[in-house]
Structure 1
Amino acid sequence: MTTMPELYAQNVNSGALTADPAQEAVLPEFERIRAALEDAGRKGWFRKTPEPPKGLYMWGGVGRGKSMLMDMFAASLDVPNRRVHFHAFMQEIHAGIHAARQKGLEDAVAPVAAKVAEDVRLLAFDEMQITDITDAMIVGRLFQALFDAGVVIVTTSNRVPDDLYKNGLNRQLFLPFIELLKQNMVVHHLAAATDYRQDRIAGSQTYFTPINAEARARIEKIWQDLTHGQAQPHTLTVQKRALEIPAFHNGVARATFYHLCGRPLGAADYLALADAARVLVLEEIPLLSRQNFNEAKRFVTLIDALYEARVRLICSAAAAPDFLYVEGEGSFEFERTASRLQEMQSDGWGSD
């Protein structure tokens, strides 16, 4: 069986990866889990022989290779495992809980957790973050049930555990979950100096005008480079509402102007998007005026949210920022948005 350090070395030697000391430093943790799972499988471990290994909570800045390492690890396993984005998993859990309640079950979490534990020995979550009060109230009992059933959890996050659900409603009720994570998972900071996602964009044009076939083709090339064709529709929960993102993969989101600004969305939606995505591909921004004033106001709010969260923006638009909104109510206020759009095009913006 090939070990994780050996797999990593093979990818470096083939040129698929560049050796990174911070990434190499976490490989023993992955290998510890992989070896324990493989050994337990041979011994019939889930019949009460040795204790399952501690999982892994790997956190660090965006673009440092966390998801890549997770993919490599999950693919290396010969035991039942599942690799899934954390938000997508929680949506499934909510659906399962709803179905259990429809059957009149008093404890709706237990059967859902039991079903997960029947199917897998390891869960690999990407981008754990808690922004919704409903998720915050469920994860403690859910994870406790999974740990009790011997399921090993490995997850990536942009946040240290103590910052999960920071400033959230009734956060004091969430704190035991943080302690549960620390007890059952090794917390490892992936302190890589290089943002590989930014490197893939570095030097590339990110604002395309006019909107034509060439702009679409160039954006598509960037999109494929960032997502490797693995994007899927994604749902964010915002104040108990569902915000659908048409395409999402590994912190990279894609939508049209109409999808995000042509519908009655607000600041909470854009803040949730900015929290989930580190790169947004936004297509077909039209000329703005009094004729589409409401859409223009939403666009201003969206850009403010992206700017404050340092999200990288790749977009196609009908005109350069200074000429997107040149007449009508709100054109003067749009000057700040135009300035931010200009700044967000600069190479390296969003990398800190």
Structure 2
Amino acid sequence: MATIQHLTQRTPHVSIDDLLAGFHPSPRFDEVSFDSYRPDPKQPSQAEAVHLLRTFASRVGQSEGGLFGKLFGKSKAKRAGIYLDGGFGVGKTHLLSSLWHAAPGPKAIGTFVEYTNLVGALSFRKTVEVLSGYKLICIDEFELDDPGDTVLMSRLMRELADAGVKIAATSNTLPGSLGDGRFAAVDFQREIKVLSDQFDVVRIDGEDFRHRGLPAAPEPVADADLLDFARSRYDGQVLAVDHFGDLVKHLAGVHPSRYRQLISGVDALVLHNVDTITEQAVALRFVVLADRLYDKDVPIVASGKPFSELFTPEMMAGGYMKKYFRAVSRLTALAREGQKGEVAL
């Protein structure tokens, strides 16, 4: 018989050590390597990215100059980071995780949001103090959502670079265009330039998600049948069973840096009455939860609206559209796994 728990009854308390332990590749990328990445022969930039990242990995923990200086030139050798720019689904996270595995430690890997949440949990100065002792910081899905993030990450990147920390990042947006469409980025060009100056940009070409569309969302389970369906599919496992509205409210009281611990030990998430989120702040919190669920490969069984209707049309066409498309894609994949038995890719 399945064990029933409720995320809305969990308020995880996380130590600094617990937070830092989470800066590790997700289970999906725990065993990847440069050798397991399969470049598309039609996209030579993918094979070139592997070559450049192997070189970058050999440079981590070493002083500036040497081989890297010969490859990139004296001026670029001073830069602390490498920045992978490319569309959704070209393997940026695979490559970033491969770099993390190949480089010496201490090292950290996490999403942009996880680093900003770390600052919120520890304070800026404590975060700089801790991360300055690392040899490599990997930042997945680098994005600037607001002026506060811009100033914060500009300072953080500069101080870590000054401390000799190497930085690698991935994004769907070139460094100089970060923040476009989300806030008055033109007013923060100095900070954005400081960020972009930390990196050598490596373009990875490939088919973009906007040309591929989203996977078809499965039909939601009838609410009256939801729990029985989940119990039969996940017999003997731990189910987190919550009403969608209650979970959304609960997330507001849990720091996003603790979402990983919030879902710890859960084998499947069962959601009653999924509905469209209409507030931006609420939607962005749920995006963080979606990323953590996807990282831990937690299948979803849900009633209510399909995840293709989770965010409003205005959100899906606005400045955060890449975030929302990613979240819908991931949640839909987890729902197809939970309700149809398909492997979420």
The TM-score normalised by the length of structure 2 is: 0.56
- From 68, 89, 100, the equivalent of 1:63 is 89
Distance 1:89 1:162 in 2: 20
Contact 1:257 1:285 in 2 (8 A): yes
- From 28, 32, 36, the equivalent of 1:11 is 36
Cα 1:133/1:258, change in 2 over 3 Å: farther
Paired residue type of 1:73:
L
CA deviation string 1:140-160 (max 9, x = no partner): 222111111111110111222
Distance 1:144 1:270 in 2: 31
Distance 2:194 2:80 in 1: 12
Which residue matches 1:88? Answer: 114
Distance 2:62 2:310 in 1: 53
Bigger CA radius of gyration: 1
Cα 1:135/1:38, change in 2 over 3 Å: closer
Which residue matches 1:116? Answer: 131
Distance 1:148 1:131 in 2: 25
Cα 1:65/1:215, change in 2 over 3 Å: farther
How far is the alpha carbon of 1:272 from its aligned partner? Answer: 2.7
How far is the alpha carbon of 1:73 from its aligned partner? Answer: 1.0
Paired residue type of 1:285:
S
Q: How does 1:1-352 map to 2 (within 5 A)?
A: 8=34, 10-11=35-36, 17=38, 19=40, 21-37=44-60, 39-40=62-63, 54-97=80-123, 109-118=124-133, 120-193=134-207, 206-210=218-222, 211-212=225-226, 216=230, 257=271, 261=275, 266-269=278-281, 271-272=283-284, 283-286=301-304, 302-304=311-313, 308=317, 309=321, 310=325, 311-312=328-329, 314=332
How far is the alpha carbon of 1:74 from its aligned partner? Answer: 0.5
Paired residue type of 1:150:
G
CA deviation string 1:29-70 (max 9, x = no partner): 2122112225449x9xxxxxxx76541111211121000111
Cα 1:284/1:75, change in 2 over 3 Å: same
Distance 1:245 1:303 in 2: 26
How far is the alpha carbon of 1:129 from its aligned partner? Answer: 1.3
Flag the structure with more relative contact order, 1 or 2, with Cα contacts below 8 A and sequence separation at least 6: 2
Paired residue type of 2:280:
A
Paired residue type of 1:272:
L
How far is the alpha carbon of 1:275 from its aligned partner? Answer: 7.0
How far is the alpha carbon of 1:124 from its aligned partner? Answer: 0.4
Distance 1:159 1:269 in 2: 22
Paired residue type of 2:156:
L
Q: What 5-or-longer segments of structure 1 have no aligned partner?
A: 1-6, 44-50, 98-108, 221-236, 288-295, 318-352
Paired residue type of 2:46:
Q
- Partner of 1:302, secondary structure, is coil
How far is the alpha carbon of 1:258 from its aligned partner? Answer: 5.1
Cα 1:23/1:246, change in 2 over 3 Å: same
How far is the alpha carbon of 1:269 from its aligned partner? Answer: 3.4
How many equivalent residue pairs?
A: 250
Paired residue type of 1:127:
E
CA deviation string 1:214-253 (max 9, x = no partner): 9659999xxxxxxxxxxxxxxxx99x9967996799xxxx
Q: What 5-or-longer segments of structure 2 have no aligned partner?
A: 1-32, 67-76, 235-250, 337-345
Q: Percent of pairs identical after alignment?
A: 15
